[in-house]
Amino acid sequence: MKQSKLIFAAVFFLCVPLAACDSPSTPAPEPSPQDLFFERLSLLCGKAYAGTLVSDQEADADMAGKPMIMHAASCDLNEIQIPFHIAEGKSEWDRSRTWIITRTDQGLRLKHRHRHEDGSLDDVTNYGGDTESEGTADRQEFPVDAESIASFKANGLDQSVTNVWAIEVSEPGQGDAKFAYELRRPESADGRDFRVEFDLSKSIAVPPAPWGG
């Protein structure tokens, strides 16, 4: 009788860890819209794409029809840097702008780095904003932040204190997949509406580094 109890106890304790191993694991949380958005941007890393101005305000008439390139030049788990190049002639390009998208504890942040041809920073640089909602996997909006408002006011750009930027990126594999960058202001400011779009269906040759890069 005593031997039977010992055998039962041994079998019981051997089965306990096996049962624990067979228990279902906690399911992984669903990725947020911002996770999916950032993942889509990451898929563009190292590639460049051609684009053009699609808005039609008079303020941007000098950009109309000019070739443009976006290049996902630098990527890691928390930051993606995208230089934005605008053709100024047959062999000259404005390489002054870089869009920087960063993960934060609260969401996503968009900043603009603006340099001169000699590599020095422009007086107005590092402007942008943080997301205020989850957005979607296709589109994220970035209302102007306090740092940028202070910079705009200090540099006589009071109309820019209501800026809202947006970036869009299509789901991979779509025939009409695009990347878009947008700036808008309400009518109470000046009704600004600037938008450029890039064709993601085919990558192009990688451009030179941005100024100061």
Instruction: Convert the pLDDT of each residue in 12-66 to its tens digit.
Output: 444 444 444 455 677 778 889 999 999 999 999 999 999 999 999 999 999 999 9
- Nearest alpha carbon to residue 62 among 98, 87, 91: 87
Q: How far out from the chain centre does Cα 105 lie?
A: 15
| pLDDT score at 23 | 53
pLDDT of 188 reads 87
- pLDDT, tens digit (0-9, with 9 covering 90-100), for 92-125: 999 999 999 999 999 999 999 999 999 999 999 9
Per-residue pLDDT tens over the stretch 4-25:
444 444 444 444 444 444 556 7
pLDDT at 59: 94
Mean pLDDT value across residues 151-170: 97
Q: Is the Cα torsion angle 114, 88, 118, 69 positive or negative in sign?
A: positive
The mean pLDDT value for 128-155 works out to: 98
pLDDT at 11: 41
pLDDT, residue 20, reads 46
Give the model confidence (pLDDT) of 67-100 as tens digits. Answer: 999 999 999 999 999 999 999 988 899 999 999 9
**Residues 114, 120 contacting (CB under 8 angstroms):** no
pLDDT at position 10: 43
Would you state the pLDDT for residue 137? 97
Q: For the whole model, what pTM was predicted?
A: 0.86
The 3-class SS string of 71-118 reads: ECCEECCCEEEEEEEEECCCCCEEEEEEEEEEECCCCEEEEEEEECCC
Asked whether residue 159 carries a pLDDT value surpassing 60, the answer given is: yes
Distance CA(137)–CA(153), nearest Å, equals 33
N-term to C-term CA, the chain: 82
